[in-house]
Amino acid sequence: MARPFLASLLFCMTIALQASPTWAARSLVVTIFPHDELANVSDESIHKDYVQPWLEEMRKISNHSIEIIFKRDVAGITDIPYEQMSPEETVNIFAKAAHPQFRWQKAILLARNPFGLNSERIETFGLAMIGHPYAIASLAAYSTLGHEQGHTMNATHEAAELRYTPWPCESYVYPNRNPLRSNCYRYSDQNRATISNYLDKALRN
Ligand SMILES: [Zn+2]
């Protein structure tokens, strides 16, 4: 069933309203497309469990505001039969159907399960290309949304790191997730700087 447009709008979240005093800036607008198979998982639940930890990290990186918009029941996007295709095919179809028009827009397809084996025969929890505005992410791991969103803002595996608190945790964008380690729910310092620079350029009017 289609969600009323107003309800989607009401769930738009804006954080860190303060912009740099020296120049006006746009918000980063992230449109999240929960797959139709997630009809029984509410936007509020996805936001609380998957989006909020990422937003809290983003607040530490940048003063730019971020809007989150949920869109459901979009034919050709939220019904992509991803379990019948490779992760690369899924991201290509999603990119063509939901391709954002501007650098301040990002789009991400959320699915319940991993996307299958990629061309290197590795189980794929998410996929994005560096600096491109679209990504796919599974809810099977809590860190995947932040991982793929980081790639869309130029964060790299090479700049990711293990951190010690004192137990090892994986920063967002760390490759080859090991379930025996926890998530740090933060980017490495180098990826933080990369993302901050990206936003300064992408969101400048
Ligand atoms: Zn990655």
Q: What is the pLDDT of residues 157-185, one digit of tens each?
A: 999 999 998 899 999 999 988 888 999 99
The helix (run of H) or strand (run of E) holding residue 5 is helix 5-10
CA 157 to ligand 1 center in whole angstroms: 6
CA 23 to ligand 1 center in whole angstroms: 32
Q: How many CA atoms lie within 13 A of 61 on its CB side?
A: 26
CA 174 to ligand 1 center in whole angstroms: 7
Q: Is the pLDDT of residue 4 over 60?
A: no
CA 18 to ligand 1 center in whole angstroms: 30
Q: What is the pLDDT of residue 177?
A: 81
CA 74 to ligand 1 center in whole angstroms: 26
Q: Is the pLDDT of residue 57 over 90?
A: yes
If you average pLDDT over every residue of the chain, what do you get?
88
Which residues contact residue 190 at a Cβ distance below 8 angstroms, ignoring those fewer than 6 apart? 159, 161
**Cβ–Cβ < 8 Å for 29, 102:** no
CA 193 to ligand 1 center in whole angstroms: 17
Q: Which fold has domain 5-158+190-202?
A: Collagenase (Catalytic Domain) (3.40.390)
CA 4 to ligand 1 center in whole angstroms: 34
What pTM did the predictor assign?
0.86
Q: Read off the pLDDT of each residue in 142-153 and give the average, rounded to a whole number.
A: 96
Which residues contact residue 15 at a Cβ distance below 8 angstroms, ignoring those fewer than 6 apart? 55, 58, 59, 65, 66
CA 142 to ligand 1 center in whole angstroms: 14
Supply the angle between the helices 52-61 and 189-202 in degrees, to the nearest 10.
Answer: 80
